[in-house]
Structure 1
Amino acid sequence: MPHLVLEYSGNVREAFDPAVVFAEIHTVLSAAGGFRPYDFKSRAVRLDTYAVGDGSREQAFVNLDIRTFAGKSPATRAAIAEAALAVLTRAFARTMSETGCDVSVQVTELDRASYARARSRDA
């Protein structure tokens, strides 16, 4: 834990490397949220079918959902969201300047009782 799901519209201007962006996000979230770097499970999803607003002009979006177990204080969750947002606004600066773009971050708390997983044995 945590799981990071980065979704972005197919019209972003940057030819970004998700691994580079995630490496920076993992670093800042480890500091802001007390996560262990090796616990992150991150993925990026480019969406080529999407609708933003009324479609009257070119619009883009970038959204990061940070899924973690409940228990972090509201202040810590806010710090996590702001730290990730700072990374994303830098990573997608060109898209933000050339399109109508929303970059957003959501910290989603998972209910530990309803979360199940299986792990391979540590070597």
Structure 2
Amino acid sequence: MPHMTVEYTNNLQGINETTLMAALTNAVCDHPTVADEADVKARIAALSSYQIGRNNAGRAFAHVELRLMAGRTAEVKKELSDRLAAVLKAEIPAQAGLQVQLSVDIVDMDKPSYFKGKL
């Protein structure tokens, strides 16, 4: 915990996945409520199957979901969401002929049912 998932439509051009994931991870790790940077786990996926409204033509999206252990305040969640949104805006280039939707969702994880272990 935290777990971060980045998904974007594969019609977006010029995305450097390594750079985008590093920037998003840094935005989370740099927040004062994240005690250990090694706890932040991120993954990224370009989606080849997706639907945007009724017609995909001229449309694309990038979405970040950050899953955190429940208990953070609404203000902390908003700060994290704003940081991640700023990274998306900075790292995803404008796309000629595409309406690109950017979104971020902060999700509470249920502490009693969450397992974390090490080998």
What TM-score do you get using the length of structure 1 for normalisation?
0.87
Question: Which residue is equivalent to 2:71?
Answer: 71
Compared CA separation, residues 107 and 88, structure 1 to 2 (3 A): same
**How many residues get paired?**
118
- Name the amino acid aligned to 1:92: I
Unaligned runs of 5+ in 2: none
Question: Which residue is equivalent to 1:9?
Answer: 9
Per-residue deviation, 1:15: 3.6
Q: Could you tell me whether the CA contact under 8 Å between 2:25 and 2:42 is conserved in 1?
A: no
Q: Could you tell me whether the CA contact under 8 Å between 2:9 and 2:61 is conserved in 1?
A: yes
- Name the amino acid aligned to 1:24: A
**Alignment partners' CA distance in 2, 1:72 and 1:15:** 31
Dislocated runs of 4+, deviation >3 Å = none
Q: Could you tell me whether the CA contact under 8 Å between 1:65 and 1:105 is conserved in 2?
A: yes
CA offset digits 1:4-55 (Å, max 9, x no partner): 0001111012241x22222222222223352132211100011101111121
1:30 aligns with 2:44: no
Question: Which residue is equivalent to 1:113?
Answer: 112
- Name the amino acid aligned to 2:115: A
Compared CA separation, residues 63 and 56, structure 1 to 2 (3 A): closer
Q: CA RMSD in A?
A: 1.6
Question: Which residue is equivalent to 2:91?
Answer: 91
**Alignment partners' CA distance in 1, 2:102 and 2:32:** 20
**Alignment partners' CA distance in 2, 1:2 and 1:56:** 32
SS of residue in 2 equivalent to 1:93? coil
Compared CA separation, residues 92 and 98, structure 1 to 2 (3 A): farther
Q: Choose between structure 1 and 2: higher helix proportion.
A: 1
Percent identity between matched residues is 22
Question: Which residue is equivalent to 1:20?
Answer: 19
CA offset digits 1:71-97 (Å, max 9, x no partner): 1110000000010000011111323x5
CA offset digits 1:91-110 (Å, max 9, x no partner): 11323x54111110000110
- Name the amino acid aligned to 2:117: A
